[in-house]
Structure 1
Amino acid sequence: MNNVCGTSRIAGFRFSLYPMTDDFINVIMSALKETDTSKVWQKTDHISTCFRGKMDHVFDAAKAVYLHAAKSGKHIVMNGTFSIGCPGDTRDDSFLFEDDKRLNDENTREIRAEAPCQFALYPMNEPDYMGIISEAVDIAKAQGTFVQGVHYASELDGDAHDVFRTLEAAFRLAEEKTNHVTMTVNFSANSPSRKQGTNEKLEG
Protein backbone atom coordinates (compact mmCIF):
# COMPACT_ATOMS: atom_id res chain seq x y z
CA MET A 1 0.00 0.00 0.00
CA ASN A 2 1.67 3.19 -1.18
CA ASN A 3 0.36 6.43 0.26
CA VAL A 4 1.10 10.00 -0.68
CA CYS A 5 1.01 12.80 1.84
CA GLY A 6 -2.27 13.00 3.66
CA THR A 7 -4.05 10.01 2.09
CA SER A 8 -3.53 7.52 4.94
CA ARG A 9 -6.52 7.27 7.28
CA ILE A 10 -4.56 5.47 9.95
CA ALA A 11 -4.90 7.41 13.20
CA GLY A 12 -2.21 7.11 15.83
CA PHE A 13 -1.33 8.08 19.37
CA ARG A 14 2.21 7.94 20.71
CA PHE A 15 2.43 8.63 24.43
CA SER A 16 4.49 8.31 27.57
CA LEU A 17 3.02 7.76 31.02
CA TYR A 18 4.79 9.10 34.12
CA PRO A 19 3.48 7.93 37.53
CA MET A 20 5.07 9.93 40.36
CA THR A 21 5.64 6.92 42.59
CA ASP A 22 8.29 4.32 43.32
CA ASP A 23 5.72 1.79 42.06
CA PHE A 24 5.68 3.40 38.61
CA ILE A 25 6.31 0.15 36.72
CA ASN A 26 3.25 -1.49 38.20
CA VAL A 27 1.04 1.55 37.49
CA ILE A 28 2.15 1.70 33.85
CA MET A 29 1.94 -2.04 33.19
CA SER A 30 -1.42 -2.39 34.95
CA ALA A 31 -2.92 0.46 32.92
CA LEU A 32 -1.74 -1.12 29.66
CA LYS A 33 -2.88 -4.60 30.70
CA GLU A 34 -6.37 -3.43 31.73
CA THR A 35 -6.86 -1.62 28.43
CA ASP A 36 -8.33 -3.73 25.63
CA THR A 37 -6.11 -3.04 22.63
CA SER A 38 -7.52 -5.78 20.40
CA LYS A 39 -8.59 -3.27 17.75
CA VAL A 40 -5.41 -1.19 17.62
CA TRP A 41 -1.85 -1.93 16.59
CA GLN A 42 0.32 -1.49 19.67
CA LYS A 43 4.02 -1.30 20.32
CA THR A 44 5.70 -0.35 23.58
CA ASP A 45 9.40 0.42 23.75
CA HIS A 46 11.73 1.85 26.40
CA ILE A 47 10.48 5.40 25.81
CA SER A 48 6.83 5.32 24.76
CA THR A 49 3.82 3.35 23.53
CA CYS A 50 2.13 3.73 20.15
CA PHE A 51 -1.47 2.88 19.24
CA ARG A 52 -2.52 2.89 15.55
CA GLY A 53 -5.78 2.09 13.80
CA LYS A 54 -9.22 3.62 13.34
CA MET A 55 -9.72 6.93 15.09
CA ASP A 56 -12.55 5.55 17.25
CA HIS A 57 -10.37 2.82 18.70
CA VAL A 58 -7.26 4.93 19.11
CA PHE A 59 -9.15 7.45 21.25
CA ASP A 60 -10.94 4.64 23.08
CA ALA A 61 -7.65 2.98 24.04
CA ALA A 62 -5.97 6.29 24.90
CA LYS A 63 -8.74 7.27 27.30
CA ALA A 64 -8.76 3.81 28.88
CA VAL A 65 -5.03 3.88 29.61
CA TYR A 66 -5.35 7.30 31.22
CA LEU A 67 -8.32 6.25 33.34
CA HIS A 68 -6.73 3.02 34.52
CA ALA A 69 -3.56 4.87 35.47
CA ALA A 70 -5.43 7.70 37.20
CA LYS A 71 -7.61 5.36 39.26
CA SER A 72 -4.44 4.23 41.05
CA GLY A 73 -4.68 7.47 43.02
CA LYS A 74 -1.06 8.24 42.26
CA HIS A 75 -0.01 11.51 40.66
CA ILE A 76 0.33 10.62 36.98
CA VAL A 77 1.23 12.60 33.87
CA MET A 78 0.53 11.52 30.30
CA ASN A 79 2.22 13.26 27.37
CA GLY A 80 1.33 12.27 23.83
CA THR A 81 0.70 13.12 20.20
CA PHE A 82 -2.30 12.14 18.09
CA SER A 83 -1.81 12.04 14.32
CA ILE A 84 -3.74 11.19 11.17
CA GLY A 85 -2.76 11.54 7.52
CA CYS A 86 0.95 11.05 8.10
CA PRO A 87 2.61 10.24 4.74
CA GLY A 88 4.81 7.66 6.45
CA ASP A 89 1.87 5.59 7.77
CA THR A 90 1.91 2.83 5.16
CA ARG A 91 2.23 -0.40 7.17
CA ASP A 92 0.13 -2.46 9.61
CA ASP A 93 -3.09 -0.90 8.35
CA SER A 94 -5.26 -4.01 8.74
CA PHE A 95 -6.78 -2.56 11.92
CA LEU A 96 -8.67 -0.07 9.75
CA PHE A 97 -11.13 -2.85 8.92
CA GLU A 98 -12.34 -3.30 12.49
CA ASP A 99 -15.98 -2.44 13.28
CA ASP A 100 -16.87 0.71 15.20
CA LYS A 101 -17.70 -0.82 18.61
CA ARG A 102 -15.41 0.65 21.26
CA LEU A 103 -14.03 -2.15 23.40
CA ASN A 104 -13.24 -0.13 26.52
CA ASP A 105 -16.49 1.79 26.91
CA GLU A 106 -18.19 -0.64 29.24
CA ASN A 107 -15.21 -1.24 31.52
CA THR A 108 -14.31 2.44 31.91
CA ARG A 109 -17.74 4.07 31.99
CA GLU A 110 -17.89 4.17 35.78
CA ILE A 111 -14.29 5.28 36.35
CA ARG A 112 -14.14 8.90 37.39
CA ALA A 113 -10.90 10.85 37.18
CA GLU A 114 -9.93 14.45 36.68
CA ALA A 115 -8.21 15.31 33.43
CA PRO A 116 -6.67 18.77 33.45
CA CYS A 117 -5.06 18.99 30.05
CA GLN A 118 -3.19 21.33 27.75
CA PHE A 119 -3.55 20.56 24.06
CA ALA A 120 -2.26 22.06 20.84
CA LEU A 121 -3.78 21.36 17.42
CA TYR A 122 -1.65 21.44 14.27
CA PRO A 123 -3.51 21.30 10.91
CA MET A 124 -0.59 20.62 8.56
CA ASN A 125 -0.17 22.55 5.29
CA GLU A 126 -3.37 24.50 5.96
CA PRO A 127 -3.33 28.27 5.32
CA ASP A 128 -6.36 28.81 7.58
CA TYR A 129 -4.92 26.83 10.46
CA MET A 130 -5.81 29.55 12.98
CA GLY A 131 -9.44 29.40 11.88
CA ILE A 132 -9.54 25.64 12.49
CA ILE A 133 -7.89 26.04 15.90
CA SER A 134 -10.43 28.73 16.79
CA GLU A 135 -13.27 26.37 15.86
CA ALA A 136 -11.74 23.66 18.05
CA VAL A 137 -11.63 26.09 20.98
CA ASP A 138 -15.30 26.90 20.35
CA ILE A 139 -16.09 23.18 20.64
CA ALA A 140 -14.35 23.07 24.02
CA LYS A 141 -16.26 26.14 25.19
CA ALA A 142 -19.57 24.64 24.07
CA GLN A 143 -18.80 21.39 25.87
CA GLY A 144 -17.82 23.18 29.06
CA THR A 145 -14.24 21.92 29.23
CA PHE A 146 -12.37 25.04 28.11
CA VAL A 147 -10.43 26.89 30.81
CA GLN A 148 -8.14 29.34 29.05
CA GLY A 149 -5.61 29.87 26.34
CA VAL A 150 -1.98 29.55 27.45
CA HIS A 151 1.26 30.04 25.58
CA TYR A 152 1.40 27.48 22.73
CA ALA A 153 -1.68 25.56 23.92
CA SER A 154 -5.24 25.64 25.20
CA GLU A 155 -6.16 24.43 28.67
CA LEU A 156 -9.05 22.06 29.33
CA ASP A 157 -10.38 20.67 32.59
CA GLY A 158 -13.11 18.40 33.87
CA ASP A 159 -13.98 14.74 34.08
CA ALA A 160 -11.75 12.60 31.87
CA HIS A 161 -14.68 11.35 29.79
CA ASP A 162 -15.68 14.93 28.97
CA VAL A 163 -12.14 16.10 28.23
CA PHE A 164 -11.43 13.18 25.90
CA ARG A 165 -14.77 13.82 24.18
CA THR A 166 -13.67 17.39 23.52
CA LEU A 167 -10.24 16.34 22.26
CA GLU A 168 -11.71 13.79 19.86
CA ALA A 169 -14.26 16.31 18.56
CA ALA A 170 -11.51 18.89 17.98
CA PHE A 171 -9.33 16.32 16.23
CA ARG A 172 -12.21 15.16 14.01
CA LEU A 173 -13.03 18.76 13.10
CA ALA A 174 -9.47 19.37 11.95
CA GLU A 175 -9.27 16.02 10.14
CA GLU A 176 -12.38 16.91 8.13
CA LYS A 177 -10.82 20.18 6.99
CA THR A 178 -7.25 19.16 6.18
CA ASN A 179 -5.48 15.92 5.32
CA HIS A 180 -2.67 15.74 7.88
CA VAL A 181 -3.35 16.71 11.49
CA THR A 182 -1.37 16.29 14.69
CA MET A 183 -2.49 17.17 18.21
CA THR A 184 -0.29 17.21 21.30
CA VAL A 185 -1.76 16.57 24.74
CA ASN A 186 -0.39 16.90 28.26
CA PHE A 187 -2.54 15.46 31.09
CA SER A 188 -2.10 15.40 34.84
CA ALA A 189 -4.18 13.51 37.42
CA ASN A 190 -4.12 13.45 41.22
CA SER A 191 -1.61 16.27 41.41
CA PRO A 192 -0.95 17.52 44.97
CA SER A 193 -0.79 21.06 43.63
CA ARG A 194 -4.42 21.07 42.47
CA LYS A 195 -6.52 23.78 44.05
CA GLN A 196 -9.30 22.63 46.36
CA GLY A 197 -11.87 24.62 44.41
CA THR A 198 -11.16 22.69 41.22
CA ASN A 199 -11.50 19.35 43.00
CA GLU A 200 -14.84 20.44 44.49
CA LYS A 201 -16.07 21.33 41.02
CA LEU A 202 -15.20 17.87 39.70
CA GLU A 203 -16.94 16.18 42.64
CA GLY A 204 -20.07 18.20 42.03
Structure 2
Amino acid sequence: MFSGAQVSLYPMADDFVRIILGSLSALDPYRERFRIETDDISTLLVGPPEELFPAMRDLHVAASRNSVHCVLHATVSRGCPGEPDDPICTPIGNRSTEMPLGRRIDGALRAATGATRIGQDVAAQLSLYPLGAGHHMDEIYGCIDFLKRSGVFGKSKNFCTTLRGDAGPVFATLSEAFLRFGSPEGHLALDLTVSANSPTAR
Protein backbone atom coordinates (compact mmCIF):
# COMPACT_ATOMS: atom_id res chain seq x y z
CA MET A 1 0.00 0.00 0.00
CA PHE A 2 1.13 3.52 -0.76
CA SER A 3 -0.80 6.50 0.63
CA GLY A 4 0.05 10.15 0.61
CA ALA A 5 -0.87 13.71 -0.25
CA GLN A 6 0.64 16.69 -2.02
CA VAL A 7 -0.50 19.71 -0.01
CA SER A 8 -0.23 23.43 -0.78
CA LEU A 9 -1.19 26.35 1.49
CA TYR A 10 -2.32 29.76 0.26
CA PRO A 11 -2.64 32.35 3.08
CA MET A 12 -4.19 35.60 1.85
CA ALA A 13 -1.87 37.87 3.84
CA ASP A 14 1.16 40.07 3.24
CA ASP A 15 3.30 37.91 5.54
CA PHE A 16 2.34 34.68 3.80
CA VAL A 17 5.91 33.33 3.94
CA ARG A 18 5.98 33.53 7.74
CA ILE A 19 2.52 31.95 7.97
CA ILE A 20 3.37 29.02 5.68
CA LEU A 21 6.75 28.30 7.27
CA GLY A 22 5.38 28.72 10.78
CA SER A 23 2.44 26.40 10.18
CA LEU A 24 4.74 23.54 9.13
CA SER A 25 5.57 23.00 12.82
CA ALA A 26 2.02 21.63 13.16
CA LEU A 27 3.33 18.54 11.34
CA ASP A 28 5.99 17.86 13.99
CA PRO A 29 3.86 15.31 15.92
CA TYR A 30 3.54 13.27 12.70
CA ARG A 31 7.19 13.27 11.60
CA GLU A 32 8.10 9.94 13.24
CA ARG A 33 5.34 8.17 11.31
CA PHE A 34 5.48 10.15 8.05
CA ARG A 35 7.88 10.97 5.28
CA ILE A 36 7.53 14.73 4.84
CA GLU A 37 9.17 16.69 2.02
CA THR A 38 8.59 20.40 1.40
CA ASP A 39 9.61 22.31 -1.72
CA ASP A 40 8.62 25.63 -3.30
CA ILE A 41 5.27 24.29 -4.54
CA SER A 42 3.89 21.82 -2.01
CA THR A 43 4.53 19.54 0.94
CA LEU A 44 4.47 15.79 0.39
CA LEU A 45 3.00 13.69 3.19
CA VAL A 46 3.53 9.92 2.94
CA GLY A 47 2.27 7.77 5.79
CA PRO A 48 -0.62 5.82 7.31
CA PRO A 49 -3.85 6.67 5.46
CA GLU A 50 -5.75 7.20 8.72
CA GLU A 51 -3.43 10.02 9.73
CA LEU A 52 -3.26 12.00 6.49
CA PHE A 53 -6.36 14.09 7.17
CA PRO A 54 -5.58 14.81 10.85
CA ALA A 55 -2.16 16.06 9.68
CA MET A 56 -3.71 18.26 6.98
CA ARG A 57 -6.30 19.54 9.48
CA ASP A 58 -3.60 20.59 11.94
CA LEU A 59 -1.55 22.24 9.19
CA HIS A 60 -4.52 24.22 7.85
CA VAL A 61 -5.78 25.27 11.28
CA ALA A 62 -2.27 26.48 12.19
CA ALA A 63 -2.11 28.61 9.02
CA SER A 64 -5.62 30.01 9.63
CA ARG A 65 -4.94 31.38 13.12
CA ASN A 66 -5.79 35.02 13.88
CA SER A 67 -8.56 35.03 11.27
CA VAL A 68 -6.19 34.70 8.32
CA HIS A 69 -8.03 33.72 5.14
CA CYS A 70 -6.19 30.56 4.11
CA VAL A 71 -6.85 27.94 1.45
CA LEU A 72 -5.41 24.43 1.47
CA HIS A 73 -5.34 22.42 -1.73
CA ALA A 74 -4.40 18.75 -1.74
CA THR A 75 -4.27 15.77 -4.04
CA VAL A 76 -4.60 12.67 -1.87
CA SER A 77 -3.95 9.14 -3.11
CA ARG A 78 -3.89 5.56 -1.89
CA GLY A 79 -2.93 2.39 -3.73
CA CYS A 80 -1.24 4.15 -6.66
CA PRO A 81 0.16 1.39 -8.92
CA GLY A 82 3.02 3.67 -9.94
CA GLU A 83 4.36 3.86 -6.38
CA PRO A 84 6.09 1.04 -4.46
CA ASP A 85 4.54 -0.49 -1.34
CA ASP A 86 5.88 1.33 1.70
CA PRO A 87 5.69 -0.08 5.26
CA ILE A 88 5.25 3.46 6.59
CA CYS A 89 1.85 3.56 4.85
CA THR A 90 0.45 0.42 6.49
CA PRO A 91 -3.11 1.12 7.71
CA ILE A 92 -3.30 1.26 11.49
CA GLY A 93 -7.08 0.95 11.89
CA ASN A 94 -9.79 -1.53 10.99
CA ARG A 95 -11.72 0.46 8.37
CA SER A 96 -12.23 -2.23 5.74
CA THR A 97 -13.32 -1.37 2.20
CA GLU A 98 -14.19 -5.03 1.63
CA MET A 99 -17.52 -5.02 3.50
CA PRO A 100 -20.82 -4.15 1.75
CA LEU A 101 -21.34 -0.51 0.82
CA GLY A 102 -24.20 0.05 3.28
CA ARG A 103 -22.13 -1.16 6.23
CA ARG A 104 -19.22 1.04 5.15
CA ILE A 105 -21.52 4.08 5.06
CA ASP A 106 -22.81 3.27 8.56
CA GLY A 107 -19.26 2.82 9.84
CA ALA A 108 -18.15 6.10 8.30
CA LEU A 109 -21.08 7.94 9.90
CA ARG A 110 -20.26 6.51 13.33
CA ALA A 111 -16.59 7.46 13.04
CA ALA A 112 -17.17 10.99 11.74
CA THR A 113 -19.96 11.81 14.19
CA GLY A 114 -17.65 11.48 17.19
CA ALA A 115 -15.03 13.93 15.89
CA THR A 116 -13.73 16.53 18.34
CA ARG A 117 -14.52 20.15 17.48
CA ILE A 118 -11.47 22.35 16.85
CA GLY A 119 -13.03 25.82 17.01
CA GLN A 120 -12.20 26.81 13.43
CA ASP A 121 -14.94 26.88 10.81
CA VAL A 122 -14.02 25.76 7.30
CA ALA A 123 -15.61 25.10 3.93
CA ALA A 124 -14.35 22.23 1.79
CA GLN A 125 -14.86 20.94 -1.74
CA LEU A 126 -13.94 17.38 -2.59
CA SER A 127 -14.04 15.12 -5.61
CA LEU A 128 -13.50 11.38 -5.20
CA TYR A 129 -12.02 9.28 -8.00
CA PRO A 130 -12.07 5.48 -7.44
CA LEU A 131 -9.74 4.25 -10.17
CA GLY A 132 -9.55 0.64 -11.30
CA ALA A 133 -12.91 -0.25 -9.73
CA GLY A 134 -15.48 -1.98 -11.91
CA HIS A 135 -18.39 -0.32 -10.10
CA HIS A 136 -16.82 3.07 -9.52
CA MET A 137 -20.11 4.97 -9.76
CA ASP A 138 -21.60 2.83 -6.98
CA GLU A 139 -18.66 3.85 -4.80
CA ILE A 140 -19.06 7.53 -5.71
CA TYR A 141 -22.82 7.51 -5.07
CA GLY A 142 -22.24 5.68 -1.78
CA CYS A 143 -19.71 8.31 -0.74
CA ILE A 144 -22.12 11.13 -1.67
CA ASP A 145 -24.85 9.43 0.39
CA PHE A 146 -22.47 9.36 3.36
CA LEU A 147 -21.53 13.02 2.87
CA LYS A 148 -25.17 14.09 2.74
CA ARG A 149 -25.82 12.36 6.08
CA SER A 150 -22.58 13.45 7.74
CA GLY A 151 -23.86 16.57 9.49
CA VAL A 152 -21.41 18.84 7.63
CA PHE A 153 -22.90 18.57 4.13
CA GLY A 154 -23.13 21.89 2.32
CA LYS A 155 -24.36 21.15 -1.19
CA SER A 156 -23.67 19.14 -4.30
CA LYS A 157 -22.02 21.01 -7.17
CA ASN A 158 -20.81 20.09 -10.62
CA PHE A 159 -17.84 17.75 -10.23
CA CYS A 160 -17.61 18.09 -6.43
CA THR A 161 -19.40 18.13 -3.06
CA THR A 162 -19.18 20.98 -0.54
CA LEU A 163 -18.87 20.51 3.23
CA ARG A 164 -19.15 23.24 5.88
CA GLY A 165 -18.60 23.31 9.62
CA ASP A 166 -16.00 22.98 12.32
CA ALA A 167 -12.63 21.72 11.06
CA GLY A 168 -12.73 18.70 13.36
CA PRO A 169 -15.90 17.07 11.96
CA VAL A 170 -15.18 18.29 8.40
CA PHE A 171 -11.71 16.74 8.22
CA ALA A 172 -12.99 13.58 9.96
CA THR A 173 -15.68 13.30 7.28
CA LEU A 174 -13.10 13.83 4.53
CA SER A 175 -10.94 11.11 6.07
CA GLU A 176 -13.80 8.63 6.15
CA ALA A 177 -14.60 9.39 2.50
CA PHE A 178 -10.99 8.59 1.64
CA LEU A 179 -10.75 5.44 3.77
CA ARG A 180 -14.10 3.73 3.21
CA PHE A 181 -14.80 4.01 -0.51
CA GLY A 182 -13.21 2.58 -3.63
CA SER A 183 -11.79 -0.86 -4.32
CA PRO A 184 -9.43 -2.10 -1.56
CA GLU A 185 -6.97 -3.20 -4.26
CA GLY A 186 -7.60 -0.27 -6.57
CA HIS A 187 -6.17 3.21 -6.85
CA LEU A 188 -8.22 5.98 -5.25
CA ALA A 189 -7.55 9.71 -5.60
CA LEU A 190 -9.26 12.62 -3.87
CA ASP A 191 -9.02 16.25 -4.94
CA LEU A 192 -9.56 18.64 -2.04
CA THR A 193 -9.82 22.39 -1.45
CA VAL A 194 -10.44 23.76 2.07
CA SER A 195 -10.95 27.42 2.94
CA ALA A 196 -11.02 29.16 6.33
CA ASN A 197 -11.98 32.75 7.21
CA SER A 198 -13.09 33.63 3.70
CA PRO A 199 -14.43 37.20 3.54
CA THR A 200 -17.16 36.08 1.12
CA ALA A 201 -18.63 33.85 3.83
CA ARG A 202 -19.36 36.98 5.88
Q: TM-score, normalised by structure 2?
A: 0.81
Q: Taking structure 1 as reference, are residues 110 and 116 closer, same or farther at Cα in structure 2, changes over 3 Å only?
A: closer
Percent identity (aligned): 31
Q: Taking structure 1 as reference, are residues 158 and 178 closer, same or farther at Cα in structure 2, changes over 3 Å only?
A: farther
Number of the residue aligned with 2:67: 73
Shift of 1:66: 1.1
Number of the residue aligned with 1:129: 136
Structure 1 counterpart of 2:30, from 37, 42, 64 = 37
Extract unaligned runs of 5+ from structure 1.
1-8, 101-108, 196-204
Shift of 1:74: 0.6
Equivalent pairs, count: 178
**Retained in 2: the 8 A contact 1:118–1:154?**
yes
2:89 counterpart letter in structure 1: L
Number of the residue aligned with 1:20: 12
Shift of 1:127: 3.3
Counterpart-to-counterpart distance in 1, 2:149 and 2:118: 24
Counterpart-to-counterpart distance in 2, 1:69 and 1:20: 10
**Retained in 2: the 8 A contact 1:71–1:111?**
no
Extract unaligned runs of 5+ from structure 2.
94-115
**Retained in 2: the 8 A contact 1:116–1:155?**
yes
Shift of 1:86: 0.6
Q: What secondary structure, in the 3-state scheme, does the structure 2 residue paired with 1:72 have? A: helix
Write the deviation string for residues 109-134 of structure 1: whole angstroms up to 9, x where unpaired: 67411120110000002232221111
Number of the residue aligned with 1:185: 192
Number of the residue aligned with 1:51: 45
Counterpart-to-counterpart distance in 2, 1:124 and 1:176: 8
Deviating more after overlay: 140-149 vs 77-86: 140-149
Shift of 1:95: 2.0
Shift of 1:32: 0.7
Number of the residue aligned with 2:127: 120
Counterpart-to-counterpart distance in 2, 1:61 and 1:24: 20
Shift of 1:71: 2.1
Q: Taking structure 1 as reference, are residues 70 and 167 closer, same or farther at Cα in structure 2, changes over 3 Å only?
A: same
Counterpart-to-counterpart distance in 2, 1:178 and 1:162: 27
**Retained in 2: the 8 A contact 1:143–1:166?**
yes
Q: What secondary structure, in the 3-state scheme, does the structure 1 residue paired with 2:144 have? A: helix
Q: TM-score, normalised by structure 1?
A: 0.80
**Retained in 2: the 8 A contact 1:84–1:175?**
no
Number of the residue aligned with 1:11: 3
2:65 equivalent to 1:63: no
Number of the residue aligned with 1:201: none
Number of the residue aligned with 1:143: 150
Q: Taking structure 1 as reference, are residues 115 and 178 closer, same or farther at Cα in structure 2, changes over 3 Å only?
A: farther
